[in-house]
Amino acid sequence: MTLHTPRLPLVAILRGLDVDSAEAVGRALFSAGFRILEVPLNRPGALECIRILSSIAPADALVGAGTVLRVADVDAVQAAGGKLIVSPNCNPEVIRHSVAQGLFSAPGIATPSEAFAALEAGAHALKIFPAEQVGTAGLKALLSVLPSGTPIWPVGGITPESMAIWFKVGATGFGIGGQLYAPGTPAEQVKTRAAGFVAAWKACQAG
């Protein structure tokens, strides 16, 4: 199975999403153009939210989990219908298992050693985390040694206004958390914020 990053490489990180609002928030994001949705596992109800989001996702969407730390977590996410495995760290065992199960693997890395270990294990994309710590200068230096075309997504503190400078040094996508969604955010507000990020991404591509 060959997995490709959706055309809009923006990851909605839905930390604290609750089961009751999952469908409304998911539909708001999908209607705004988002196609990658991540529900971190370190909150109650995460797997049920993934199940709900997967059931309403467009065919070209990637729905799955963040904060995936163990192989058993990978299996639980897949059982819930998830196709995306995101971690804050680089655990080659988790990466290899995800890839073997036909899931999209995006582990967190902050150093060249972690980046190459993740790629060797089969990661589809690299999550720069925490992006504030690595910085744009750090990303530029990292990209100078990584294979050309490596998908790389800064995560942490990303706003529509900050995307352009990251894009300029080589970011190919972004993970977006609290600036997009926080527990209790109404679905319509999520949709409005999502549209702002989509517009900013299109502006980056347009130069």
- pLDDT band (50, 70, 90) for residue 2: low
Which residue numbers are catalytic?
A: 38, 127
pLDDT above 80 for 1: no
pLDDT mean over 49-57: 98
**Domains of the chain by start residue, with CATH:** 10-206 (3.20.20.70)
Q: What is the pLDDT of residue 207?
A: 81
- pLDDT band (50, 70, 90) for residue 4: confident
Going by C-beta distance under 8 Å and a sequence separation of 6 or more, which residues neighbour residue 195? 32, 33
pLDDT above 80 for 15: yes
Q: Name the token pair of 131.
A: 């992006």
Q: What is the pLDDT of residue 6?
A: 81
How far is it, in rounded angstroms, from Cα 71 to Cα 98? 8
Cβ(12)–Cβ(87) below 8 Å: no
Q: pLDDT, tens digit, for every residue of 114-173? A: 999 999 999 999 999 999 999 999 999 999 999 999 999 999 999 999 999 999 999 999
pLDDT mean over 50-67: 97
